Chain A
Amino acid sequence: MATDAPTATGVSTAEKTAWERIKEPAVYVRLISLVVVIGGWELMGQTGNIDPVTFSYPSAICVAFWDLIASGKMTAAAYESSQILVAGLLIAIPLGIVLGILMGRFRTFEYAVDTYVFALYATPVVALAFPIAMVLGVDFVGKTTIVVFFAIMPIIVNVYHGVRNVDLSLLEVTRSFCSTESQRWRDLIFPSVVPYLVAGLGLACGRALVGMVVAEFLMSISGLGALSQDYIADLELDKGLAPVVLLMIVGIALTKVVNICETKFSSWRVRQES
Chain B
Amino acid sequence: MSSSDNGLNPTLRLQGVGKWFGSLQVLEEIDIDVKTQEILTVLGPSGCGKTTLLRIVNGLILCERGEVSFKGEVVDGPRPEMAMVFQNFGLFPWKRLDQNIGYALRIQGKDKNEIDRLVSHYTELVGLGGFEANYPSQLSGGMQQRAGLARALAAQPDVLLMDEPFGALDALTRETLQEELLRINEAEPKAMIFITHSIDEALLLGDRVLVMTPRPGRIRFQFETGFGRGRDLEALRGGKRFQALRHYLWEAMRNPDEEPEPIPELNLE
Q: Is B58 a contact partner of A8 (Cβ separation < 8 A)?
A: no
Which residues of A are found within 8 Å of B108, using beta-carbon distances? 178
Q: Which of B129-156 contact A (CB under 8 A)?
A: 130-131, 133-140, 155
Write out the residue numbers on chain B whose beta carbons fall within 8 Å of the beta carbon of A172.
Answer: 55, 60, 86, 90
Whether A270 sits at the interface, judged by CB under 8 Å, is yes
Residue interface bits A170-191, CB-to-B below 8 A is 1, else 0: 1011011111100100011001
Closest A residue to B87 using CB positions = A169
Report the separation of the CA atoms of residues A191 and B135 in the bound assembly, to the nearest whole angstrom. Answer: 14
Give A194 to B43 CA distance when docked, in angstroms: 41
Give the chain B neighbours of A188 by CB distance below 8 A. Answer: 92
Main secondary structure, interface of A, reads helix
Chain B residues, Cβ within 8 Å of A4: 133-134
Q: Are A9 and B107 in contact (CB-based, < 8 A)?
A: no
Count of B residues near A, CB < 8 Å?
A: 32
State which size class the interface on A falls in. Answer: 20 to 34
Flag if B134 contacts A7 (CB, 8 Å): yes
| Contact across chains for A177 and B155 when beta carbons are under 8 A apart | yes
Using known A-B contacts A175-B60, A177-B104, A187-B103, determine if residue A7 contacts B78 with beta carbons closer than 8 Å.
no
The answer, yes or no, to whether B83 is at the interface (CB within 8 Å) is: yes
Q: How far is the CA of A187 from the CA of B108 in the complex (A)?
A: 14
Q: How far is the CA of A187 from the CA of B90 in the complex (A)?
A: 13
Q: Mark A35-55, 1 if CB is under 8 A from B, else 0.
A: 000000000000000000000
> Quick one: given A191-B92, A191-B94, are A7 and B138 in contact (CB under 8 Å)?
yes
Contacts of B94 in A (CB 8 A): 191, 266, 268
Does A23 lie at the interface of the complex (its beta carbon under 8 Å from any beta carbon of B)? no
Residues of A within 8 A of B (CB): 3-4, 6-9, 11, 169-170, 172-173, 175-180, 183, 187-188, 191, 266-272
Q: What are 29 pairs between A and B in contact, CB < 8 Å? A: A7-B130, A7-B138, A8-B131, A9-B131, A9-B138, A9-B139, A170-B92, A172-B55, A172-B60, A173-B86, A173-B90, A173-B92, A176-B78, A176-B82, A176-B83, A177-B80, A177-B83, A177-B104, A177-B107, A178-B78, A178-B80, A180-B107, A187-B95, A188-B92, A191-B92, A268-B93, A268-B135, A270-B135, A271-B138
